[in-house]
Structures are given as C-alpha cells and as structure tokens.
Amino acid sequence: MVNFYTIPNWFFGYDIGLEVLFALITIFVAGFAFKAYSLSREEEFKLFGISFTLISLSYFAWSLVNIFFVEELSEHTRVLLLGNFGLLSVFGIYLHILLFMTGLTTLFYMTCKVKSWRLYSMMIITNLLIVLLACNKFFAIYSLSSLLLFFITLFYIDKYFETRNSKIGWLLVAFISLLAANMAFLFGNVNSQYVIAHLLELISFGVILVNLIRMKHGEKKKSS
C-alpha cells in the first residue's frame, strides 16, 4: 500500500475545513476570470477560469476523501493509504488527481501563449500517464505539480518585471506560496509537511482572494 499522506490528529478537521475553503475561493476566482473573459474575449482569462474550476473541484473531492476514507494510525496521526479502501475511495482519490493535474496543466498551457489543442491534449495525457503509472503516486503528483508551478511562477516573474503591475505582483506571491506548499509535501517530515503545506496554500489562496476583492473595489470606484 502507498502512504498517500499522514495527518496529525490535532489538525484533522481543520484540514477539511481549509480544503472546502480553498474550493470556494478557487471557484470564486474562476467565476471572476470567466466574467473578465466575457467582457474582453481574451483567451488567457478563459483558460485561467477553466484551470481554477478544475482545481476547485479537486479540492472538493479531496475534502470528501478526507472525511470518509482517512483511518486513525495511532493516537497522534491519521493516514490515507492508497488502495487500502474500496472502489469508491480509489475513485475519489483518482478524481482528485485527474482534476488537480489537469487544472495545473491548463494553467501552464495558458502561460505558454500558444494555441494548439493537440499540444494541450498531449500535455494532459502525458502528465496523467506519468502519475497513474508511477509506483509512488504521491511523489509523482507533487514532483510534477511542483515542476508546473515552477514554470508558472517564472511566467509571472517575467510578467511582473515587464509591467510592474501590483496585481501581477500579488499573483506572483500567491504562486510562489503554492509552489512552496507543494515542496513542503515533497520534502517535509511526516509530522509537519501536511500542516505546513495547508498553511502555505491558505496564504496563496488568501492573497488571490484579497487581490480579486481589491480589483473589484477598484472597478467600482472607476464606474462611480
């Protein structure tokens, strides 16, 4: 069996609440992106919206897996073991993987500034096959997602220094934090990695949410 992740008992419940919160924030971000697309017809906004919709759904799936399929390992920890449960739990885990990896791949594809659905399909299929065929799916998921987030972060670094736009700067901070969360999953110790990763994700999505609220507030000021 593969140890997918370990959760400190004191943090169990808080993590589920945070995952639902992340799902709500990311769907709000997606809605804002689709609204921007409807006004501007810029492909970047549409892909951003699709990406965050998929990421939102992945967090909903992850929270349900945590609610129903995490077992107590000891008085201090709980654990999710891939393959240790029935068909429904395996479906939930793979659904999370599918949605999360497709969402990040879509975001990376957006930063490539090319329009090729063959390339897009190939990237998604390749990434999913790497994860699904890997012996250690935990390592495969967070290695691939960290790689994607690294190149997404590079895109926003270039864009920020090109425009000096504070909104882009806050997005850059958010993606750096999200990259750090993935690295915490990969390299943290079993007692702290899960908590650190969630706190970094909270910073990331919190920054994105605050940035969107500020943008909407700025739009209202301009229209008044």
For residue 134, which phi and psi values (nearest 5 degrees)? Answer: -70, 145
pLDDT digits (tens, 9 = 90+) for 104-128: 999 999 999 888 989 999 999 998 8
| Alpha-carbon gap, residue 4 to 191, rounded angstroms | 14
CATH classification of the domain holding 127: 1.20.1070
Model confidence band, residue 21 (pLDDT cutoffs 50, 70, 90): very high
Residue 190 pLDDT: 57
Tell me the two tokens of residue 10: 């004191």
In terms of DSSP H, where are the helices of 85-190? 87-112, 117-133, 137-163, 166-187
Residue 84 pLDDT: 53
Beta bridge partners of 81: 3
Domain coverage including residue 184: 2-223
**Residue 206: Cβ within 10 Å count:** 15
- Structural domains counted in the chain: 1
- Helix axis angle for 43-69 and 14-40, nearest 10°, is 160
| pTM, 2 dp | 0.86
